[in-house]
């Protein structure tokens, strides 16, 4: 017995022996059966059954799912990321018990280059309609004309009509963000245009949303209601000025993200996605690339509300495989349906600004033209359904001989890496706008430091070489990257200074399960993130915050627990100031200023215990100060929650950060004690994590070692109001109890 959404793989300990291998997350696959027994709601019984159409909607099942209703097969869908619907009306017992059975086959592995999860990992709905109703994803809203005074809202409606004798009228009503009715019209035509006065435009700073309510009416009776959230905005990608939103030049400061939610696995949770976006937004991030697959609908809903520029991506491979059992074997039969369903589902989201038909597709290297032909077919499918957005592809063949780029098929040139080639883009592709679709691939372990910091490490030295070090960790200074990548700082400098680059999507925002480059087992998750798997920012987070926001920023690192005789490289990221002065135990170590070519400042400091203090100043006046103290032995535990009150929804979460303190209340940054958790009341422990890519234990265990001074426990409330008492304990430490309210 379990709740959906559900990911069965995440419940296991990690092992390098699983067929998915560390690149696939080092977790098991297998085959799972789900069964749901239910009776239909009373309004569908008796004579009413003739007036009802019943569907089941799946937002995503990984993967190769087959669905039966009362023993009769409803359908098969191989793609693990796509949303789909089955009409189950013919198979149902309207006055008795029904059984839906879903077989999920994730046994043939490896089938992914990252952690996929297993099971019905996105939401499922039973949908009851009248025989005449708005079809699934049956509205298409565009705004062909926008001015300060008015916007024309064009609405195309697809009606599914089982009752061929019924005459239907379509009534559209637009409401503002407060639910106030603004304009309404009725017609028997499937295409209508409404005029909206003094429109509020959707933007990154003010992501204003309208709601379209579509009513179907027949013989004076309302028979269906369908809601569509949309936004009003104008945009273009320009070959010289980059991305223009509502007439204003905007740099896309984006990240790529995979779909797992750390210790929750791939099981979709609205609050967990929201928390990721909140952490990114606070960094100054304004863009998300859905790497490398259709996202959960909840992600786009949140991007609409919070103001992100989304690259919506369809495929990681076409006909040429990347792993032995991947989607390439299904692509010839299923690509048209899957791409069609993606565009139909997502085309009303104002946060979606471009479609990507593929990531690092192997066909881009083919010289016989077949790859370009396939790209043309996919682009044609997208354009037939949504001609309002540009089509791109993340190309790692950054040569002008790339058949995709050479053909001119793509509206938007997308380069994955190739920073040294950016200068040549305007000459090679005249008149074509450009997006850095994937950048950086820096390697970092939160809280781990290797010196000298000015020595750049390229790991591995060649992309397909085996690689090993005594410790499977990478320095948290910005001084380590893969051979195809670059340092965060050098990449950021170029993109910020060149208008023709529309922006970038950094690999990656968050660490993710799988692909632990440059290491193999016991590493089982990535090192690429600006934020670790538990959601704790790495130091480079503050570089972006200092450059992408107007906040006052001062961040100094590393910690100040070293050995006598060590010389430590102390870095600072700062903003809204001219300089930073560093002090050790009250003695000035001098002031430093950023230059055009270096966006951090650094001191080499012989270690002595005590207090390291930094002060940033502007025109001689103090802006911010920060202190780091040498910590003693840990004596107590500190718990800090992102939310002390959560909803009694059965889904809401509180993310609780766990640290240990010394006798003076200083955080101990090198602590690694095992912390055990116990819970009472209206909640459960949904997962634990610490951001350590080498930790082999299940992320569902109610215990976790600190990793470089931190770990995380995720508390999930029930659907009953009350309180949750969380206790954290460890031998020789004073335990801590924490109360979260559920209401």
The catalytic residue positions are 360, 438
List alpha helices for 484-584, DSSP H.
488-497, 541-548
Strand partners, 707: 710
Q: Which of 199, 283, 289, 286 is nearest to 246 (CA)?
A: 199
Give the separation between CA 194 and CA 172, rounded to whole angstroms.
9
Helix 370-385 and helix 331-346: axis angle, to 10°? 30
Task: Determine if residue 722 is left, alpha or beta; phi over 0 gives left, psi from -120 to 50 gives alpha, anything else beta.
Answer: left
SS3 339: helix
CB of 509 closer than 8 Å to CB of 529: yes
Token duo for residue 220: 């004076």
Strand partners, 714: 655, 687
Q: Which of 598, 611, 612, 543 is nearest to 574 (CA)?
A: 543
Give the separation between CA 254 and CA 368, rounded to whole angstroms.
34
- For 353, half-sphere exposure in the C-beta direction (CA atoms, 13 angstrom radius) is 31
Give the separation between CA 516 and CA 24, rounded to whole angstroms.
9
3-class SS letters over 631-691: CCCCCEEEEEECCCEECCCCCCEEEEEEEEECCCCCECCCCCCEEEEEEEECEEEEEEECC
CB of 712 closer than 8 Å to CB of 536: yes
Q: How far lies 576's CA from each of 252, 547, 573, 589, 625, in Å?
A: 21, 10, 11, 21, 13
Please report the DSSP string for 557-602 in residue order. ES-S---TT-EEEEEEEE-SSSEEEEEETTEEEEEE--BTTBSSEE
């Amino acid at each position: 017995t379990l709740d959906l959404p559900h990911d069965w793989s995440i419940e296991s300990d990690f092992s390098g022996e699983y067929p998915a291998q560390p690149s696939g997350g080092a977790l098991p696959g297998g085959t799972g059966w789900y069964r749901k027994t239910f009776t239909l709601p009373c309004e569908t019984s008796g004579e009413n059954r003739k007036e009802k159409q019943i569907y089941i909607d799946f937002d995503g099942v990984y993967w190769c799912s087959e669905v039966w209703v009362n023993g009769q097969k409803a359908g098969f869908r191989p793609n693990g990321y796509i949303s789909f619907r089955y009409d189950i009306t013919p198979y149902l017992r309207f006055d008795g018990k029904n059984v839906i059975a879903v077989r999920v086959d994730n046994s043939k592995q490896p089938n992914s280059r990252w952690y996929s999860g297993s099971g019905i990992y996105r939401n499922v709905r039973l949908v009851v309609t009248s025989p005449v109703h708005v079809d699934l994803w049956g509205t298409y809203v565009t705004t062909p004309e926008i001015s300060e005074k008015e916007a024309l809202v064009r609405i195309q409606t697809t009606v599914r009509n089982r009752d061929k004798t019924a005459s239907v009228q379509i009534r559209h009503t637009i409401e503002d963000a407060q639910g106030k009715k603004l304009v309404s019209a009725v017609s028997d035509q499937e295409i209508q245009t409404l005029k909206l006065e003094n429109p509020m435009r959707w933007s990154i700073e003010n992501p204003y949303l309208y709601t379209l309510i579509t009513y179907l009416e027949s013989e004076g009776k309302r028979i269906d209601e369908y809601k569509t959230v949309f936004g009003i905005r104008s945009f273009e990608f320009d070959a010289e000025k980059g991305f223009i939103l509502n007439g204003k030049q905007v740099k896309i400061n984006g990240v790529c993200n995979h779909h797992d939610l750390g210790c929750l696995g791939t099981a979709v949770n609205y609050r967990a996605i929201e928390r990721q976006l909140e952490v990114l937004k606070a960094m100054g991030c304004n863009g998300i690339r859905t790497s490398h697959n259709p996202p959960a609908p909840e992600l786009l809903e949140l991007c609409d509300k919070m103001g992100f520029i989304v690259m919506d991506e369809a495929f990681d491979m076409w006909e040429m495989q990347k792993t032995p059992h991947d989607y390439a074997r299904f692509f010839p039969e299923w690509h048209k349906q899957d791409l069609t369903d993606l565009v139909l589902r997502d085309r009303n989201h104002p946060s979606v600004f471009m479609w990507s038909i593929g990531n690092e597709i192997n066909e881009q290297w083919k010289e016989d033209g077949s790859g370009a032909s396939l790209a043309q077919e996919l682009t044609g499918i997208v354009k037939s359904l949504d001609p309002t957005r540009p089509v791109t592809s993340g190309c790692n063949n950054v040569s002008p001989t790339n058949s995709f780029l050479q053909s001119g098929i793509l509206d938007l040139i997308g380069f994955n890496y190739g920073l040294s080639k950016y200068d040549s883009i305007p000459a090679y592709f005249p008149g074509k706008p450009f997006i850095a679709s994937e950048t950086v691939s820096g390697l970092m372990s939160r809280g781990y430091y290797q010196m000298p910091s000015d020595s750049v490490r390229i790991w591995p030295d060649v992309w397909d070489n085996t690689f090993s070090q005594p410790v499977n960790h990478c320095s948290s200074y910005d001084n380590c990257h893969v051979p195809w990548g670059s340092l965060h700082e050098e990449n950021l400098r170029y993109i910020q200074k060149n208008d023709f680059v529309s922006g970038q999507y950094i690999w990656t925002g968050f660490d993710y399960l799988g692909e632990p480059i440059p290491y193999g087992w016991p590493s089982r998750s990535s090192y690429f993130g600006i934020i670790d798997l538990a959601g704790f920012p790495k130091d480079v987070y503050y570089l972006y915050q200092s450059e992408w926001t107007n906040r006052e920023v001062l961040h100094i690192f590393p910690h100040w627990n070293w050995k006598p005789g060590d010389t430590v490289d102390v870095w600072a990221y700062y903003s809204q100031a001219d300089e930073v002065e560093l002090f050790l135990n009250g003695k000035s170590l001098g002031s430093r200023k950023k230059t055009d070519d270096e966006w951090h400042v650094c001191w080499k400091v012989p270690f002595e215990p005590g207090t390291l203090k930094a002060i940033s100043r502007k025109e001689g006046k103090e802006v911010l100060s920060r202190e780091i103290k040498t910590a003693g032995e840990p004596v107590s535990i500190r718990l800090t929650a992102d939310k002390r009150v959560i909803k009694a929804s059965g889904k809401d979460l509180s993310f609780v950060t766990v640290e240990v303190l010394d006798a003076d209340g200083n955080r101990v940054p090198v602590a690694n004690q095992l912390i055990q958790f116990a819970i009472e009341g209206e909640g459960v422990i949904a997962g634990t994590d610490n951001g350590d890519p080498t930790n082999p234990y299940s992320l569902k265990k109610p215990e976790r070692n600190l990793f470089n001074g931190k770990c995380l426990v995720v508390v999930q409330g029930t659907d009953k109001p009350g309180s949750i008492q969380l206790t954290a304990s460890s031998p020789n430490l004073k335990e801590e109890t924490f109360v979260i309210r559920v209401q």
